Chains A and B, each alone.
Chain A
Amino acid sequence: MQRWIRSAALAASAVYLALGAVSCGGKRESEKAGTLNVAAFKGGYGLDFFEDAAKEFETERPGTKVKVWGNPRVWEQLRPLFVAGKPPDLAYPGWGMDHWPLVYENQLMPLDEALAGKPWSGEGKWADTFEPALLKLGQHGGKQWMLPYFYNINGWWYDKALFAKHGWTPPKTWSELLTLCGKIKAAGIAPITYQGKYPYYALHGFLFPWVVSAGGIQAFDDMQNLKPGAWKSAAVIRAASMIRELADKGYFQSGANGMSHTESQMEFVNGRAAMIPCGTWLNSEMREQLPKSGFEMAFFLPPTLDGGIGDPTNIDIGIEPWVVPSKGKNHGTAIDFYKYMTSLPKAKQFVERKGTLTAIKGSDEVKLPPYLVEPAAAFRASKAIWSVEYIQWYPKLGTASQNATAALLAGTVTPQEYAERLEAAAELARKDTETPRHTVTR
């Protein structure tokens, strides 16, 4: 009996060891030579488009194998791969990635040479097929490190059907906004809701558009460039006071401060709130929850100050970059595959299939879904764009500004105190000698 147990114990430990050997020794398919390893964030747009592109690319380039993998937290898996020196050949790390340290620690390949080369088809430079203002968002120290694919425009959303029913029109100015909010409130609907749990949305939706409107795009550039005093400028205080005014007048949906993005967006699509700030991903994020009929999601730019000095055509853009890791094994194929993805027919297909705009010139010349018509027009009409880059450049300032904004929305700080807090956080960023500095240039 005892002998039997002993052999069983031995057998058990043998199994343990064998399992260990298999998991250590098994070679991942992606590591095999010749297979292009592409890691992508699996968000609202899924992976299917990239997977399909991979299959097409395999027929375009016989003998090439492409493996696309990813999930909604892919950035957490990419970190150890980068540390171990085994990154994928091409990566779309997603919004949760702290991207710039990849550049500071030489984990990315500069792409200037590739951009100077030919595009997938036709003549000229690959660089010229991108919208130049969006390409710029991936540059640092005179080099191109990241490339845009699709881009987001931040603004406000309303339900056209609901507005038509009540005879309301989207407000263009602050005074129009206040008048409209009064009417909406009287109709028993919350005028504005927002994703209070993530103050990031309020920065994009309220604060920065009003800073740009009050102080011009320069006021916001100065903030991002960490110019002393820029975070407590008159424009910042004015914008913060506007946020407080909306809160004090009861024009924000009560309870919005604790709502997640999905909770507040549900309030909007269910008609309990009339307007919400968000990026152009809103429709794809909420498409499962949209009412079957009678709901027409539409975009408008945040109302500007009456007499504000900012150019009202300036818009807030965001990209989610793609990168070519320097320690990848197939640089050439990675770039070739990305050239295929950014070719005009593929980019147009992305716009049509995913309902969002891409950084490739002319890719919006397709039949756009109704909710994208206004954003696309706003992009074409814009004389300049701005992008909230400091959150990625200086993550600590990013966190501090979002926490301060939560306090402003909750009413625990005044606009003046808020501006002081922001400036103090900017001062810490100025003193931080470990993080390389970035600048916005026009």
Chain B
Amino acid sequence: MRTNNRGRAWFVAGFLAPATLLYAVFVVLPVCQAFQISLYRWRGISEQRTFVGLANFQRLAGDEVFRQALAHNLAFLVIGGALTLGLAMAIAHAIHGNGRWARLIRGVYLFPQIISMVVVAVLWMFVYNPSFGILKASLQTVGLGRFAMDWLGTPGTALPAVLVTFVWHAVGFHIMLFSAGLRTIPAEVQEAATLDGADGMLRFRQVTLPMLFPVLRVAIVYMVIGALNVFALVYLMTVGGPDRRTEVMLTYLYEQAFKHSDFGYGTALAVANFAVVMALSGLAMLLLRRDPTEAKA
């Protein structure tokens, strides 16, 4: 019996070892290195480094641009997240079922998720193009041409414009997530609720939503990570401009490291980003740790 167990342990270890090793070398080690580099002044062009202690973090504490970037990330999280989850929930609920149309529509909504972020950004740059973009053309068609403007180049509209693209891209994935969650709710429960007189919004609030809770929790944590790590979309659509109005943590990091050859500060930004992501996802998990269906049981 014992030998059999040991054999099993080796068997499991044999499968885990390659992945663990890769993870350690390519994920854990670089993260540790990043913490180390953030304590240096380093131009990232030779081995020459100067230890500066926590100077990079002191600078970070007083950095107005970082605060601005973080605020933009939080806008992605709060506004973008609420819109994405709300829309996804509504649509998933609306197309619940297994008919041909429901499946087709689910496929269509998933589409943005499977195309590359670069393509998404380019596509929306075409949508917003102030000369021949679809958005301008659509507004003109319905007689609202005077509302057409330079969405990505105007300080006040650039962030909302990128946010819309962010939501457009993220919503499909969450529809899929919620659709899968909805299918796990037993039909009997829904029927019982209906027989008890709970229908429409009431049934959704009292039965469906609580039963979707585990899925919602995953979606929120996923959204925290996605919104705080947004990079390619912003970098391609606006490069953080105009005048930093769409700057996010990671575009700022890229600027500091690669354009300003300030890899020490760049890595300090990476550490700060890591801390914020960890803190907010931890907070989300803490706040959502109790499953409401369990509480009632």
Identify the A interface with B (CB < 8 A).
2, 5-6, 9-10, 12-13, 16, 76, 79, 82-83, 85, 96, 98, 101-102, 104-107, 196-199, 253-260, 263, 267, 272, 395-396, 398-399, 403-404, 406-407, 409-410, 412, 434
What are 24 A-B pairs with beta-carbon distances under 8 A?
A6-B7, A83-B45, A101-B43, A105-B45, A197-B238, A197-B241, A254-B149, A254-B150, A255-B129, A256-B150, A257-B153, A258-B150, A258-B151, A258-B238, A258-B242, A260-B125, A395-B259, A395-B261, A398-B259, A403-B243, A403-B244, A404-B243, A407-B242, A434-B41
Q: Are B260 and A98 within 8 A (Cβ)?
A: yes
Q: Are B155 and A412 within 8 A (Cβ)?
A: yes
Kindly report which residue of chain B lies nearest to residue A196, judged by CB atoms.
B153
Q: Are A79 and B45 within 8 A (Cβ)?
A: yes
Q: Are B238 and A254 within 8 A (Cβ)?
A: no
Instruction: Summarize A's interface: helix, strand, loop or mixed.
Output: helix
Closest chain B CB from A33 CB (angstroms): 24
From B10, B45, B155, A407 is in contact (CB under 8 Å) with B155
A258-B153 contact in complex given A2-B11, A83-B47, A272-B131, C-beta closer than 8 Å: yes
A198 to chain B: which residues have CB within 8 Å? Answer: 239
Q: Are B154 and A98 within 8 A (Cβ)?
A: no
A406 to chain B: which residues have CB within 8 Å? Answer: 241-243
Q: Are A9 and B152 within 8 A (Cβ)?
A: no
Closest chain B CB from A275 CB (angstroms): 16
Tell me, in angstroms, the Cα distance from A6 to B10 when the chains sit together: 9
A255-B130 contact in complex given A196-B153, A407-B242, C-beta closer than 8 Å: yes
Tell me, in angstroms, the Cα distance from A429 to B151 when the chains sit together: 33
Tell me, in angstroms, the Cα distance from A404 to B242 when the chains sit together: 9
A257-B17 contact in complex given A395-B260, A403-B243, A434-B41, C-beta closer than 8 Å: no
Q: Are B261 and A98 within 8 A (Cβ)?
A: yes
B149 to chain A: which residues have CB within 8 Å? Answer: 254-255
B62 near A: Cβ within 8 Å? no
B116 near A: Cβ within 8 Å? no
Q: Mark B1-22, 1 if CB is under 8 A from A, else 0.
A: 0000001001100110110011
Tell me, in angstroms, the Cα distance from A197 to B238 when the chains sit together: 6
B47 to chain A: which residues have CB within 8 Å? Answer: 83, 85
Closest chain B CB from A300 CB (angstroms): 24
**Besides the known contacts A258-B242, A407-B243, 19 further A-B residue pairs in the complex with CB atoms under 8 A apart:** A2-B7, A6-B14, A9-B14, A12-B18, A16-B22, A79-B44, A85-B47, A101-B261, A106-B46, A255-B129, A255-B131, A255-B153, A257-B153, A257-B154, A258-B128, A259-B129, A398-B259, A410-B153, A410-B155
B contacts with A, residue count (CB < 8 A): 40
A5 to chain B: which residues have CB within 8 Å? Answer: 11
Query: Which B residues, 120 to 150, have Cβ-Cβ distances below 8 Å to chain A?
Result: 125, 128-131, 149-150
B158 near A: Cβ within 8 Å? yes
Closest chain A CB from B165 CB (angstroms): 13
B48 near A: Cβ within 8 Å? yes
Tell me, in angstroms, the Cα distance from A196 to B131 when the chains sit together: 14
Q: Are A98 and B11 within 8 A (Cβ)?
A: no
Kindly report which residue of chain A lies nearest to residue B50, judged by CB atoms.
A434
Tell me, in angstroms, the Cα distance from A2 to B155 when the chains sit together: 64
B21 to chain A: which residues have CB within 8 Å? Answer: 16
Point out which of A98, A267, A398 has the most chain B C-beta atoms below 10 A from its C-beta.
A98
- Give 9 nearest A-B pairs by CB, closest first: A255-B130, A258-B153, A257-B153, A258-B152, A9-B14, A255-B150, A105-B46, A406-B242, A407-B243
Q: Are B259 and A98 within 8 A (Cβ)?
A: yes
Closest chain B CB from A279 CB (angstroms): 19
Point out which of A12, A76, A255, A398 has the most chain B C-beta atoms below 10 A from its C-beta.
A255
Q: Are A107 and B45 within 8 A (Cβ)?
A: yes
Q: Mark B254-273, 1 if CB is under 8 A from A, else 0.
A: 01001111000000000000
Closest chain A CB from B72 CB (angstroms): 15
Closest chain B CB from A289 CB (angstroms): 14
Kindly report which residue of chain B lies nearest to residue A405, judged by CB atoms.
B243
A76 to chain B: which residues have CB within 8 Å? Answer: 258
Q: Are B44 and A83 within 8 A (Cβ)?
A: yes
From A13, A83, A98, B18 is in contact (CB under 8 Å) with A13
Tell me, in angstroms, the Cα distance from A381 to B131 when the chains sit together: 38
B48 to chain A: which residues have CB within 8 Å? Answer: 105
A412 to chain B: which residues have CB within 8 Å? Answer: 155, 243
Closest chain B CB from A376 CB (angstroms): 32
A82 to chain B: which residues have CB within 8 Å? Answer: 45-46
Tell me, in angstroms, the Cα distance from A82 to B43 when the chains sit together: 11
Q: Are B129 and A399 within 8 A (Cβ)?
A: no
Kindly report which residue of chain B lies nearest to residue A408, judged by CB atoms.
B243
Q: Are B242 and A396 within 8 A (Cβ)?
A: no
Q: Are B130 and A196 within 8 A (Cβ)?
A: no
Q: Mark B217-232, 1 if CB is under 8 A from A, else 0.
A: 0000000000000000
From B17, B125, B152, A13 is in contact (CB under 8 Å) with B17
A263 to chain B: which residues have CB within 8 Å? Answer: 125, 129, 131
Q: Are A104 and B43 within 8 A (Cβ)?
A: yes
Kindly report which residue of chain A lies nearest to residue B21, judged by CB atoms.
A16
Tell me, in angstroms, the Cα distance from A409 to B154 when the chains sit together: 10
Closest chain A CB from B55 CB (angstroms): 11
Tell me, in angstroms, the Cα distance from A254 to B125 when the chains sit together: 16
Kindly report which residue of chain A lies nearest to residue B12, judged by CB atoms.
A9
Closest chain A CB from B153 CB (angstroms): 2
Tell me, in angstroms, the Cα distance from A96 to B259 when the chains sit together: 8
Q: Mark B33-75, 1 if CB is under 8 A from A, else 0.
A: 0000000010111111000000000000000000000000000
Q: Are B129 and A257 within 8 A (Cβ)?
A: no
Tell me, in angstroms, the Cα distance from A263 to B149 when the chains sit together: 16
B259 to chain A: which residues have CB within 8 Å? Answer: 98, 395, 398-399
Q: Are B44 and A197 within 8 A (Cβ)?
A: no
Q: Are B260 and A396 within 8 A (Cβ)?
A: yes
Q: Are A399 and B255 within 8 A (Cβ)?
A: yes
Q: Are B43 and A403 within 8 A (Cβ)?
A: no
Kindly report which residue of chain B lies nearest to residue A263, judged by CB atoms.
B129
Closest chain A CB from B136 CB (angstroms): 8
Q: Are B242 and A410 within 8 A (Cβ)?
A: yes
B18 to chain A: which residues have CB within 8 Å? Answer: 12-13, 16
Kindly report which residue of chain B lies nearest to residue A402, judged by CB atoms.
B241
Tell me, in angstroms, the Cα distance from A82 to B158 when the chains sit together: 38
B14 to chain A: which residues have CB within 8 Å? Answer: 6, 9-10, 13
